Amino acid sequence: MIGILNVASYGCVLAMIALGLAVVFGMMDIVNLAHAEWVTIGAYALAVAQAVGGKQAFWLALLVAPAVGALLGWCLERFIIRLLYDRPLDTLLATYAVSLILQKALELIFGTQPMLVYAPFSGAVPVPGGSYPAYRIFVIGVALTVTTGCWLLFARTRFGMQLRAVIQHTAMAEATGIDTRRLNRIAFCGGAALASLAGVLVAPMVSVESHLGVSYLAKAFFVIVLGGIGSIAGSILGSAVIGTAETLLSYRVDPSLASAVVLVLSIVVIRFRPQGLIPGFSAAHQLLGKG
């Protein structure tokens, strides 16, 4: 039971980070390597809020951090990515540079030592086979709610339909009167906000440093490539698979060896199923089907 909960808490956080990436990747064909920094920004926002307002400022940070993340995401989109829409590989490099700058800027402002963050409540909940920290169950709950919400938004609303249309065929969507630029911007900010929220949620469970997000980023990309680009269900399934594999493996072997094994396994899976576990519709597939 505890094992299942561990898998769930890791997988859910991974899914939240991967969702934003997946939508941006599928829609705009943009690989946002700075996405990891938004996780870090969320965690730092929590640290700042708690330094000012005490332990219970967590609830405030839960609202403020996504707003900060969305605002910074808007800036990134507005000032850098928009200039590079027709050069997709260059956006990858540009966001990489941005992530480097942000990481170092955070270090310069806040110092290199880990920041202090607290969980808003402690205590354990009895579950079959022992007890489990209440905060982690809270994280699972929030992450599940947000992920389900995103899925509903994507699958059931008019806005979601427009998003899917842009992912499938941008030019056609534009021809039917969808403002793709605006939608891109909203999706980008939304993804950034999701990542910041995930940052707030994971912060009390890990040590908050400037390179907190990087390990999640690589995993999140694997989730997307494994799950299928441009499909929400794919990224959720992918995070479940990778989260399970990594958590279960790290019981047996060293954690870094576990990530190496997961990496190798995913590479092998990609060899035989390049379109991902649940293929979505995306221009990126045409690139993948090239070889």
Residues that bind another protein (CB under 8 A): 25, 31, 33, 80, 83-84, 87-90, 92-94, 96-98, 100-101, 103-105, 107-108, 214-215, 218, 221-222, 225, 254-257, 259-260, 263, 267-268, 270-272, 274, 284, 287-291
Name which of 136 and 219 has its Cβ closer to another protein: 219
Q: φ, ψ for residue 182 (rounded to 5)?
A: -65, -45
Q: Write down the least CB distance from residue 278 to another protein, Å.
A: 17
Cβ–Cβ under 8 Å, residues 249 and 21? no
Instruction: Compute the distance between CA of residue 251 and CA of residue 138 in angstroms, rounded to an integer.
Output: 23
Q: Write down the least CB distance from residue 245 to another protein, Å.
A: 14
Which CA distances in Å does 226 have to 18, 35, 109?
11, 18, 37
Q: Write down the least CB distance from residue 262 to another protein, Å.
A: 9
Instruction: Compute the distance between CA of residue 42 and CA of residue 192 in angstroms, rounded to an integer.
Output: 10
Q: Write down the least CB distance from residue 270 to another protein, Å.
A: 6
What is the DSSP annotation of 153-222? HHHHSHHHHHHHHHHH-HHHHHHTT--HHHHHHHHHHHHHHHHHHHHHHHGGGS-B-TTHHHHHHHHHHH
Q: Write down the least CB distance from residue 194 to another protein, Å.
A: 19
Name which of 82 and 169 has its Cβ closer to another protein: 82
Name which of 97 and 155 has its Cβ closer to another protein: 97
Name which of 47 and 229 has its Cβ closer to another protein: 229
